[in-house]
Structure 1
Amino acid sequence: MIQRLDSRADTFAAAFARLIDRDSPAQGAVDARVAEIIADVRDRGDTAVLEYTRTLDRHPATDMASLEIGADRLQAALDAMPTGPRGALEAAAERIIRFAESQKLESHSFIDEHGNRLGQVVRPIERAGIYAPGGKAAYPSSVLMNALPARVAGVSEIVMVSPAPGGELNDWVLAAAALAGVHRFFTVGGAQAVAALAYGTECVPEVDKIVGPGNAYVASAKRQVFGRVGIESVAGPSEVLIIADGRGNPDWAAYDLFAQAEHDEMARAILICPDADYLAAVAAAVDRLIVDQPRRAIIEAALRDHGALIEVANLAEAVALSNRIAPEHLELAVDDPDALLDDIRHAGAIFMGHRTPEAFGDYCAGPNHVLPTGRTARFSSALGVYDFQKRLSIVQASAEGAAVLAPVAAELARGEGLHAHAASAEARAPATDRANASKP
């Protein structure tokens, strides 16, 4: 069911390249359809959003007002939760908040040797849009992970969108929205939801930034509205890479592969190890344990098409392959994970040791589970409080400082052919001051 690869085989390079290739031949058609939806929502507002929601999500809504869920309904869902589920949500929320608090950027400034004040002021964005999946599966954990950092950052208004196929509401998602402090909640999904957040409609407010994962249409829509609004990333199918030393429990490894593969048929789950016997044991565990998995069909499709067990010469080679993959989730299932950590260059999140499954990170460890996918961990990072904060530079020149800065600025401005810039700078420092000022 899951392919075996050997890094020493002549065919490995080509097989590995196919394994990590995330380009979709259908992307062009998706982008074209999404562009049509965005333009329609921009032009017709609520009317277009309502039509798409009724046709694509089969929602029986008669007007936009019926697509907004009020705060009372959100709180009622939270209040109705049994003690166990509510306690789990609250425990996860507390840990997410605690970690998010540690990420907050603070304003700061300093005075240089010429009396100039330089620094930055940190401000939260005013309005954030949160997209939470609600199609094949609904994820209350995603609500917490996206909304709570915005709340910790001090965002004034958090607007959440989540599809409700057939008009069916998920009480877990509603409860998580109440717990996370979401201000407005619309049961709208897909590209039309992203467009509504980006451009605003009669009912849906325009936001400053859109965050949260979704399907290929949601990802395309976020990419296309970027620039009008900010986005945290363009999420692709979920990924896990396990580097194993062969001394862990093969059943644990199988379950960790399943945990990623059950997201959808495009998920990628890979294990790399220098121990051939361990790889065989993991393959046997996969075949034995899959029969009890409720999402077996999805797992089997993902493992068959996008999964692999890779034999390498040593752990150093495993790390080198990992850096080429730049995985969303990286499990270091080894006795001494710190020995490998310094050589890991690219990963969204790293889970250290045999007893730390990626599932802890998905739900309750504390660090955010919204992570870069599709090799974008080479240049991007996990969602955090800083994604909802802006840094405003401040410059305040003193009399002495203006005399020092003016000739430097003027010289560079004239070098660029921008003479008004030079004149503007020199006007702040009279010739006598410039002559007497020390050079920087």
Structure 2
Amino acid sequence: MQTHFSLAALADPDIAQAEKILRACVHCGFCTATCPTYLITGDELDSPRGRIYLIKEMLENERPADARTAHHIDRCLSCLSCMTTCPSSVHYMHLVDHARAHIEKSFRRPVADRMLRAALAFVLPRPAIFRRALRAAKYVAPVAPFLPTRLHALLTLAPKTAPPPSDVDRPQVFPAKGARKMRVALLNGCAQTALDTHINEATVRLLTRHGVEVVVAQGAGCCGALPHHLGKVDQSHAFARRNIDAWTREIETSGLDGIVVNASGCGTSVKDYGFMFRGDAAFAEKAARISDLARDVSEVVEGLELQAGEAPRLKVAYHSACSLQHGQKITRQPIAALERAGFEALAVPEGHICCGSAGTYNLLQSEMADELRARKVANIESVSPDVVAAGNLGCMVQIRAGTAIPVVHTVELLDWATGGPKPQLLTPSSLRGA
């Protein structure tokens, strides 16, 4: 793509990076075939190619974002399916992230939008505050149908009961069982610790049972992805810096062989810390080291010899989260782990299409998200699974809202199959094969 940025504009490293990405695009349109929003609307501006044109025009002319540009960028899921499809290796993720930051700084949204986005960016990354919000939500739930669409979506997705804080999420070291094979830090996260404590508990049990020492580092928490995708770069970088500092202390004191992430959206962000801080003299080297150490839990499990357990041979529909398959290019490891553990892994039709969760997308773009969920659930149910497994909490919450089939994290099944407890959602009434 031909560009016409001024030399003054290109002096900004972020603009220079955006210009490099824009020039890689050859207008081929392959991305439109796999873009979820384009599949729904058929609007070119709801495709990656159309959004690239909008971003180019906005940045090239050095102007504030307008309502039209903000509307179509907001409707992007950042599922990154376009990056998997693109024959020219256009790094759309970095381009749309920069566009979101520019929109956040230069476009004045309606008051209600600003308030909701600010509330989500403040509440979701802070587990203690998020738990209070969840407790309050159950009192408002009876009037949910009479509230505006976005507030209705918030209440619909909120669990009826939120679990109490888990001991596993406080800073500590979990020793390996038997001979120690490696030492890793676990990103315990933010929203996940308020919504589903079983995931981190299963992760710790699974890893320690197989000779991995796990540390939850003092000071680590939200990866920054939630505010980052809302364009709130200062907030997201502040969270990221805390993690980088916390894990760097562990590296320099007791050492780390890896940083394990069991929420794929977070993993994509942590693996991008090196890029995020490339121009920060104080953090560039540390951030790059953290990104190099970051691993999805399925990548760590791939190197472990799983112990045989007594879990039944269930049919598992594996939902490949977009941030895992497109953001991190991890596709075979979770399926291989499930099969090694004795489960029958089923491929889901249209597995490359997003379920509509996408961080806060299902809260801010609920109508589009609902349509994508209905499409995803129909594809899952078409293979008649006993259970659905996924590697990202957001996907799990989204899919659970549309089906009676139990949806659990992949590590919960692997933990069960190697000697851990049965996942709580897998009750006798919910399973045909158990």
Q: Same fold (TM over 0.5)?
A: no
The TM-score with structure 1 as length reference comes to 0.30
More helix, by proportion = 2
TM-score (normalizing by structure 2): 0.31
**Rg bigger for which structure?**
1
